[in-house]
Structure formats: C-alpha cells, structure tokens
Amino acid sequence: MVLSGLIYISTNQNSCKQQMIEQVFRKSEEKLEDFGLRSSPGSEEKLEDFGLRSSPGFLYNQPSTLVGRTDVVSMTPWLAPIIWEGTFDPTLIDSIYKQHNLTIATTVFALGKYTRFLKDFLESAEEHYFVGFRVHYYLFTDQPEAVPEVKMGENHHLTVRRVPSLDRWQDISMGRMEILEKLIKNELANEADYIFCLDVDAKFYGRWGVESLGRLVGVIHPWFFDYPRDQFSYERRPESQAFIPAGEGDYYYTAAAFGGSLADVHHLTKTCWEQLNIDIANSIEAIWHEESHLNKYFLYTKPSKLLSPEYLWRDINAAVGQVKIIRFSHVAKNNAEVRPNV
C-alpha cells in the first residue's frame, strides 16, 4: 500500500468513470512492472478503498484557512506541499497513517571512517525517526564488525550488508544509486511501502514522521533554500548528463536525504545510475556527483512533496528565523580527515 494522495471515486459509476478507474489501476500496475513487481491479488480493491480517514470521536485542533505560516512558502508552483513546522498536525496525521500497516525502508551507507557516525545516527533515529511505525534500516558498510549495538524500538529492525571498500568518497557516493536500484528491485517489493535514503554523518534532533511520506520526496538543501537559481551549484557543462541550462531550475535538492514510494525511487535511482555511467564512459564527473544527477532528475520529474531544510540542516550553519526546529542535521566534521577511505 502506498499513500500518495486521496482519490475520490463515486459509487454511481458511468462507463467514463469506470474507464478512468481502470486507467488508474493500469498505471499503478505499469509502475510496478517497471522494476519487475506486480500488485498482489485484491490490490485494486485496496487502492479503491483507501482514503485519508480520521477516526470518529478523534479530537484535534481545528484547521484554519486564514491563519498559518506567513514567513515561508508551503506549496510549490506545481502544487506539491513543502513541509515546515506549523504546516501539519502531527497527532492527526499519525492517527491517519497508523491505520495502515506501513513499513519504511531506510538505507544508510557507512564506509571507512564514516562508521564513527553510526552510533549517533542510529541512537538518535530510534528517538525521533518514524516512532510508532515499522522501520527497516539497511546498513551498507565495508566494516560490519564496526557496527555498534543499538537497541531497536518496537517494529524497528536493522540489516547489515557488507559492500566493497572504495578509496574515493566520490565513488562511494555515486555507487549508492546502483545499490539502491538493486535493493528495491530484488528485495523490497514485499518488504516495504516507502524508502528513504539518508546520509550517516548526520543526527536526528526532532521528529521525522509520516508527514514526510509521499510518492517522490525531495529535501531542500540548507545552503541554497534562500538563493536565486542562478547561484545554485548545478552542473553547467553540456557534456554531462546532469547538465541544467542557465535560467532553469526550481530548488536545489540535497542528495543526503530523499525518498518516496518504491516504484518512484526505483525509477529515480535507475535513471541517475544510467546517467552516471554515461558520464563515466565520456570521462566526465558532474560537479556534485550523484547530487547533480538527482537535481537534474527532480527538475524534470517533479517531486510530489518537498521537505524544508528542517529535514537536513548542517551543524555549521547559522540559525535562521524560518527554521523553527532542526529535525535532522549533518554533524560538524573535518572532511579532509574523514573522506579518504584509507
């Protein structure tokens, strides 16, 4: 079951409406077939029956059409929500999503000296990340023996996978797309509903919950959220598959956190990996590696939900008034010391 919105279908269906319903199911089936998955028997009825349902008698603050955040934009021009503190009711949204037995797969890569960040990442995640929901962490590392013992919460699980060591951090970073694509295609079809891909050199400081779920989710980079597009560090060389021409661009997205439904993230990772390979064959490396390709993908395949810089801050960044809470943040570190995997 993938929660990506609310479709209302009248019980008084004429032939036109029936065709529309069949088209919705057909497109869903095609998306699954894109990476070798088919919906299970009865899934069409589940899709048709699904709605964002609130329980009778459940009390929460009355929403307003007139009062809310006025210091930030909470909707993109293509009508995708941008999630900030104060734009959702956590009690209400939790009660809606808990009616569905969701599992969120979460991938983390810790190679070389980056294993030092695992303890803080996992312990803080267990305090703040999808608390009360099913989470399966997939940890990829070249040093399984360095993985700390961290007590997992109820319905939270950790699977450790060994991967080869690599000397260049750029190769480690870019190689994630291939591993993610294969993980989704080969293993996750019957294991999860959503997936998030997160950097390990970061720590949770506040709630990261079901308000972040969507079909295709991008996180706005904390360095560029208030910059004009001509100052984004897009790949500007036409020789690269990550090329974005001057004058184009919506937001600058971080590759340290992104996610969505299995089908949509599979298509993202597969596309980025293919584009990375074309660049490699042409002896070119995009300015910010897989992040450059991610930004190219999100420019032309718009995210259905954006997470504000609350969901990826940097401990070295100065505080700003618009960021009321820091939920997840890169920790301060000496990049020159930790990045060489030797």
pLDDT of residue 332: 83
- Name every residue whose Cβ is closer than 8 Å to that of residue 335 and which is 6 or more positions away in sequence: none
Q: Is 78 helix (H, G, I), strand (E, B) or coil?
A: coil
Both tokens of 253, joined, read 């997205």
CA distance linking residue 290 with residue 176, whole number of Å = 9
Torsion, Cα of 162, 131, 307, 46 (10° steps): 90
Amino acid making up residue 177:
M
DSSP bridge partners of 140: 109, 161
pLDDT confidence of residue 19: 40
pLDDT tens by residue, 186-223: 999 889 999 999 999 999 999 999 999 999 999 999 98
**What average pLDDT does the segment 58-69 reach?**
91
Alpha-carbon span 270 to 216, nearest angstrom = 14
- Residue 340: what pLDDT? 55
Q: Which two tokens stand for residue 81?
A: 């929500």
Assess if residue 295 is contained within a domain.
yes
C-alpha closest to that of 90 among 214, 4, 209: 209
Q: What is the pLDDT of residues 286-340, one digit of tens each?
A: 999 899 999 999 999 999 999 999 999 988 878 899 999 999 999 987 666 666 5
Domain span at residue 215 reads 8-19+78-338
Mean pLDDT for the chain overall: 85
Q: Is 261 helix (H, G, I), strand (E, B) or coil?
A: strand
- pLDDT category at 35 given cuts 50, 70, 90 is low
Q: How far apart are CA 179 and CA 259, in angstroms?
A: 15
Say how far apart CA 326 and CA 332 lie, in whole Å: 14
Model confidence at 6: pLDDT above 50: no
With beta carbons less than 8 A apart as the criterion, state whether 86 and 69 touch.
yes
State the helix-helix crossing angle for 262-281 and 169-186, rounded to 10 degrees.
140
Q: Is residue 192 part of a domain?
A: yes
Average pLDDT over every residue of 28-35: 50
What share of the chain has pLDDT > 90, as a percent? Answer: 72
Average pLDDT, integer, range 78-91: 97
96 lies in a domain? Answer: yes
The CATH code of the domain that includes 153 is: 3.90.550.10
Catalytic residues: 291
Q: Would you list which residues are annotated within the binding site? A: 114, 199-201, 221, 291
CB-count exposure of residue 183 (10 Å: 0-12, 13-18, 19+):
buried
Does residue 3 fall inside a structural domain?
no
Contact call for residues 322 and 248 (beta carbons, < 8 A): no
Which pLDDT does position 307 carry in this prediction?
98
Q: For the residues 22-44, what does the mean pLDDT come to?
A: 43
Residue 29 maps to a domain: no
With a cut of 50, say whether residue 106 has pLDDT above it.
yes
pTM: 0.84
Residue 127, both tokens: 């305090």
Q: Work out the average pLDDT over 57-63.
A: 91
Q: Is residue 246 part of a domain?
A: yes
Per-residue pLDDT band at 47 (split at 50, 70, 90): very low
* pLDDT at residue 23 tops 80: no
Is 56 among the domain residues?
A: no
53 found inside a domain: no
Number of structural domains (the chain) is 1
Q: What is the pLDDT of residues 259-268, one digit of tens each?
A: 999 999 999 9
Binding residues for Mn(2+): 199, 201
Q: Decide: 309 and 205 in contact? Cβ < 8 Å.
A: no
Q: Which helix (H) or strand (E) holds 178?
A: helix 169-186
